[in-house]
Amino acid sequence: MVENSLPRRERQMVRIIALVRILMDGGSQTVYQLAARFRTRRETIYRDLRTLNDAGLPVIGDESGRLSRPRLDPAFRRLLPPIPLNAEEVAALLWAVKQTGNRQPFRASLASALAKLQALVPAKEGRLAMALDGAIEERDRGVKDYVGLETLILQLVRAIVERRRCLVEYHAPGRDAPSRFPYDLYRLFSVHGGLYCIGQVPAYRGTTTLAVERIRVIEQTSETFAIDQGFDWKRCEAEAFGIVWEKPKKVVVRFSADQAPYVREREWHPTQTIRTLRDGRVELTFRAGGAFEIIRWVLSWGSAATLIQPKSLRRQVAEELQAASRLYRE
């Protein structure tokens, strides 16, 4: 039974998955019976059936074509033997859908693909999936909204695969209007829920990182490019703290004893080491670039974190704290 406490979009996904399961099992319930089962209107069931048809599942009715007693085309069912997914694999797929978040690109497509796959899962695992769907939830806070940018993202992927130079119209923060320039895309990557591309502007040395949501227009040209031989994604990933690539420095941050358990529980950077002091405090050490991001992260801990090294960043943290203190004294 679909829980009415779920959000509308989630209720629809659970209901459609259940419908697929019923149809694949050869069920012959009427639309009226299905509406009663899911505590919804017959019009809603008809709409769900049309959605399944649009997704490529051939739902048929009686000889006159009416869907009052819907079923899957028998020929289609014979072509699709059950896929032997176990409970852990089903849970993993559902987890992937949930973790994409409501504002992430391709969420609807991923849910549709899961519904199709659900039709091929053995009945026991299918029922488990329906139960798990209401038990796993995601919370979107402070995330970027990529809904509606799927076409743009596919254009970016195509440019990367085909090594095509692009003309990009990009609205950088702090600028009154977008700028237009050629751009060679190397790779897409995600950091803290944000989607970025790294590549090279031919007129400049080194790489340039762009935020996907700030790209207004992208046009592929007929010109191809070769990735700079000096570009090493694994090295970039290992040296950056976030999205900014700068020369890495040794960073040491000391945390209070009460925050020590939280610091130990996470990997903050691939190069990190953690040392416990006699009084229970811990020191986190890593090598990374991206001064602005490191400073902002240290400040987010408040008085629980002290930046020990490098001294240049320590001074900047002190200046930020003094500026913040003045704001609270006004």
Sheet of strand 282-288: strand arrangement = 273-276, 282-288, 249-255, 305-309
Count other C-beta atoms under 10 Å from residue 59's C-beta: 20
- Residue 2 has a pLDDT of 39
Nearest to 113 by CA among 169, 69, 57: 57
- Residue 168 has a pLDDT of 95
Q: Report the alpha-carbon distance of residue 254 to residue 274 in Å, rounded.
A: 10
pLDDT tens over the chain, length 330 residues? 434 444 566 667 667 777 877 777 666 788 888 888 888 888 888 888 888 888 777 888 766 667 778 887 777 666 555 666 676 777 777 777 666 666 666 666 766 666 666 655 666 666 666 666 666 666 666 677 788 888 899 999 999 999 999 999 999 988 999 999 999 999 999 888 789 999 999 988 888 999 999 999 999 999 999 998 888 888 888 889 988 888 999 999 999 999 999 999 999 999 999 999 999 999 999 999 999 999 999 999 999 999 999 999 999 999 999 999 999 887
Q: Cα–Cα distances in Å, from 145 out to 33, 178, 311?
A: 38, 20, 37
Q: At what angle do helices 311-329 and 291-299 cross, to 10 degrees?
A: 50
Identify whether 261 is preceded by a cis peptide bond (ω within 30 of 0).
no
Nearest to 302 by CA among 253, 249, 232, 269: 253
Q: Report the alpha-carbon distance of residue 214 to residue 247 in Å, rounded.
A: 26
What element of type H or E holds 23? helix 8-24
- Residue 1 has a pLDDT of 40
One DSSP character per residue, 169-227 reads: EE--TT-SS-EEEEEEEEEEEEETTEEEEEEE-TTSSS-EEEEGGGEEEEEEEEEE---
Sequence length of the chain is 330
Report residue 314: phi and psi, to 5°.
Answer: -60, -40
Q: At what angle do helices 42-54 and 8-24 cross, to 10 degrees?
A: 70
pTM for the structure as a whole? 0.65
Question: What single-letter amino acid sits at 131?
Answer: A
- Residue 64 has a pLDDT of 64
